[in-house]
Amino acid sequence: MPLKRIGKALTRTGCSPPWLTGYMTAGLFRAGAIASAVTLFGATLGTIAEGANAQDQGVGAEPQMIESSSSEDTAADEVRFVASPVVQDIGDKADDAPAIVLPPVDVSNLRELVAQTEIPETVSGDLKCLAQAVYFESRGEPLAGQLAVARVVINRADSDAFPDSYCSVVRQRAQFSFVRGGRIPEPNRQSTAWMRAKAIAQIAENGTWDSDAGDALYFHATRIKPRWARTKVARATIDSHIFYR
């Protein structure tokens, strides 16, 4: 029976007959069961929702698990790029390496240096051409004059305006009067002048003594006045030669 009809009957009679009381009791039992079912269903839905929410949070929480790992493991796996150069510490190995020490030049003048210079019995190549230039051009000059002649030959070999080897510089046409047809004559190998010329050539090539000629590229004897000298700058006059750049 519909509840509305039951309510109207109660209102009219003002009492509850036995059949109505039983009927209502059964209805209330059914209503309570329905309410319990609804409550259970709602709780089930809430559990399902919480489980789904927990699953979603678990997917998003995976980076948190990585971040919660120890900082040492993270640092070990991390690749870092730095803007400044990295210098590897080599400890004391550099201190153990033998140092290259050049023998000191303990002389007070060029004559002493020539006397201390080790001179090979024979020389060849560019060093021989340099020594021959010193020997034939200036063996009668003081040591400073001989060194200046050697310096000019070296400066020319270093200059773009001249050949790039001592022999080519000495053999260049119309440059050195002792050269005939591109041939350099042989010196007196047993003479003191030749031994001294070899020492001067070695000193000039090593740069162990400064020459007053400096960066000179030209020279001539003081007894002549060549026309080309007017366009050059004099660097030094050493005994009977004037040196120019």
In order along its 245 residues, the chain shows pLDDT tens digits of 444 444 444 444 444 444 444 444 444 434 444 444 444 444 444 443 444 443 444 444 443 333 433 444 444 444 444 444 444 444 444 444 444 344 555 678 999 999 999 988 889 999 999 999 999 999 999 999 999 999 999 999 999 999 999 999 999 999 999 999 999 999 999 999 999 999 999 999 999 999 999 999 999 999 999 999 999 999 999 999 999 99
- State which amino acid sits at residue 244: Y
What distance in Å separates the CA atoms of residue 201 and residue 120, rounded to the nearest whole number? 12
SS3 content of the chain, % helix, strand, coil (to 5): 55, 5, 40
Residue that is written with structure tokens 């051009």 in the block: 137
Contact indicator for 20, 3 with CB cutoff of 8 Å: no
Give the C-alpha distances (Å, rounded to integers) separating 39 from 30, 35, 56, 121.
Answer: 14, 6, 26, 119
Structure tokens at 73: 């493991």
pTM, to two decimals: 0.57
Residue that is written with structure tokens 């000019």 in the block: 152
- State which amino acid sits at residue 238: I
What distance in Å separates the CA atoms of residue 214 and residue 226, rounded to the nearest whole number? 21
